[in-house]
A and B are shown apart, each in its own frame.
Chain A
Amino acid sequence: MSDPTSNPFSAVEPNSDLLSVVLRINGASHALQIDPRATLLDCLRDTLQLTGTKKGCDHGQCGACTVHINGRRRNACLALAAVHEGDEILTIEGVGTPDRLHPLQAAFVARDAYQCGYCTSGQIMSALALLQEPCGPGDDEVREYMSGNLCRCGAYANIVAAIQDVRGQS
């Protein structure tokens, strides 16, 4: 159907449904063979075993899958992985380590900003982006900027406090 000469999406081999793509994740390049249907979320979790990014709803409604693409937060569940070849993707695995927590991660621990922890990586990826966004100083503004991340345990009050701790420091 398509003109192969102009299409940068290349099949692994003739007649294969799989595409050869190179994804840039947390600063490293990964050469992969993926189905065009693979979302960035499934690709991270199932192909690359980067399971820090979570699947809550798979429909853009909860924010558990939040990652950064070229510095901006996005829902990985609604992004097709192949389309993001060449983009710089940042996941929670690229934000601090267990012995060197990012200040936001440390603040979430200090503030007990979670209960089950399932939404936490998405919350932190959103909060990390928020630090660079034109978000006003108040708690209400933080709530508005964080509204794309649901927490079924209802840790919202402590999440806002953790984010405000870090913003106060900077």
Chain B
Amino acid sequence: MQSFELLRAADPSAAIAAASRSATAQQGASVRFLAGGTTLVDLMKLGVEAPHLLVDINRLPLDGIGRAADGGLRIGATARNSDLAHDPIVKAEYAALSQAILSGASTQLRNAATTAGNLLQRTRCLYFRDTATPCNKREPGSGCSAIDGANRMLAILGTSEHCIASNPSDMAVAMLAYDAMVHIQGPQGERQVAIADFFLLPGDTPDRENVLQPGDLVTHVTLPPPEVGARAAYLKLRDRVSYEFALVSAAVSVTMAEGRMASVRFALGGVGTRPWRVPAAEASLIGQPPGEAAFRQAADLALAGARPQSQNGFKIELARRCLVHALNQVTR
């Protein structure tokens, strides 16, 4: 691991001032915030991340979880994934979020992992993690080893000829379905970004993964008030039953009125270069009675434009079935 200086910021503005000295907040950043460390320390050991300065944000007062003024939920950036998943409001009113978090990693890791760290975790693509191989995300212009390599786990949606790395977060998929808002404090002040706009498609700059600029500190995430009567679930399909990343996953939430679907939200994980949501696919179910044919059609819309690689073509049908099954589960 490259050596670095360790700073514990006294308050958020000190953390922001320190981080704003980095030329980028994306791959190659020379200053990084340290939260749970379960992504960052791992990647520093591998030489994939090599910051000169680590700013410990664990003792900043950013770990609260509570009701927002509008009746929604306010989730602090350093709230631990375990605390969020077991929070009584989250379990009762945002069930897909609780289930998504508990389906990820292990208890030990969730005790360390934080809200912002989870959102900003990096792809598990083998080549991104292996500095001996070309990877456009890690080293722009070096090439993509995955396109002709081991790509079974990687994305089928939102890919480019430069990168097919999948976003591995379960939490972010549920947050996308719930229309989360990411709150950022930066050198120029505060702003909020809808989670649907927070993550960038790889295009020809796969090293740029989100909208964060140097010094930007995620302070909290908010969820809008829960939909009354919604039934929600997170379904994750993987190679083993626990402690494994998703092949495909679906976060779904549906409300019913007089036997018909009144509001439908869903997002897919494991298939996209970012958490994947297709509003037209959700809209196709509004006003319809629940049923296999309608679900199947929505799934086709959600998977429209999927581009399989040599080893992950199975994900298209698996994702369809995952979504149909999850929708069945919450409308039965």
List the A side residues contacting B242 at CB < 8 Å. 143-144, 147
Q: How far is the CB of A44 from chain B (nearest CB, A)?
A: 15
Interface residues of A in 18-57 (CB under 8 A from B): 19, 35-37, 39
Interchain CA distance A19-B3 in the complex, whole Å: 13
Query: What 1/0 mask marks residues of chain B from 95 to 111 whose CB sits below 8 Å from any chain A CB?
Result: 00000000001111101
| A2 interface residue per 8 A CB criterion | yes
Contact A2–B41 (Cβ < 8 Å): no
Interface residues of A in 132-170 (CB under 8 A from B): 133-134, 143-145, 147-149
List the B side residues contacting A80 at CB < 8 Å. 6, 34, 37, 41, 54
Q: How far is the CB of A21 from chain B (nearest CB, A)?
A: 10
Contact A75–B56 (Cβ < 8 Å): no
A73-B107, A74-B108 known; A9-B3 Cβ under 8 A: no
Which of B8-16, B172-180, B190-198 is found at the contact surface with chain A?
B8-16
Total count of chain B residues near the partner, CB < 8 A: 36
* Interface-centre pick from A37, A58, A82 (highest chain B CB count, 10 A): A37
| B42 interface residue per 8 A CB criterion | yes
Interface residues of A in 67-120 (CB under 8 A from B): 72-75, 78-80, 82-83
| B260 interface residue per 8 A CB criterion | no
Interface residues of B in 83-133 (CB under 8 A from A): 86, 105-109, 111-112
Contact A8–B8 (Cβ < 8 Å): yes
Interchain pairs with CB closer than 8 A, number = 97
Query: What 1/0 mask marks residues of chain A from 1 to 27 whose CB sits below 8 Å from any chain B CB?
Result: 111001111000000010100000000
| B4 interface residue per 8 A CB criterion | yes
Q: How far is the CB of B197 from chain A (nearest CB, A)?
A: 30
Q: How far is the CB of A11 from chain B (nearest CB, A)?
A: 9
List the B side residues contacting A66 at CB < 8 Å. 108
Interchain CA distance A73-B105 in the complex, whole Å: 13
Contact B243–A148 (Cβ < 8 Å): yes
Interchain CA distance A148-B243 in the complex, whole Å: 6
List the B side residues contacting A79 at CB < 8 Å. 37, 41, 112
| B38 interface residue per 8 A CB criterion | yes
Contact B86–A59 (Cβ < 8 Å): no
List the A side residues contacting B21 at CB < 8 Å. 1
| A126 interface residue per 8 A CB criterion | yes
Which residue from B5, B37, B107 sits with its C-beta under 8 Å from A1? B5
Which residue from A6, A19, A58, A129 sits with its C-beta under 8 Å from B9? A6
B82 and chain A: residue at smallest CB distance: A72
Which residue from A2, A78, A126, A145 sits with its C-beta under 8 Å from B7? A2
Interchain CA distance A58-B4 in the complex, whole Å: 19
Contact B1–A37 (Cβ < 8 Å): yes
Q: A-contacting residues of B (Cβ < 8 Å)?
A: 1, 3-10, 14, 18, 21, 34, 36-38, 41-42, 45, 52-54, 56, 58, 82, 86, 105-109, 111-112, 241-243
8 contacts between A and B (CB under 8 A): A2-B53, A3-B14, A60-B108, A75-B109, A78-B37, A80-B34, A126-B107, A134-B86
User: 7 smallest A-B Cβ distances: which pairs?
Assistant: A148-B106, A147-B242, A147-B243, A2-B7, A36-B6, A6-B10, A72-B111
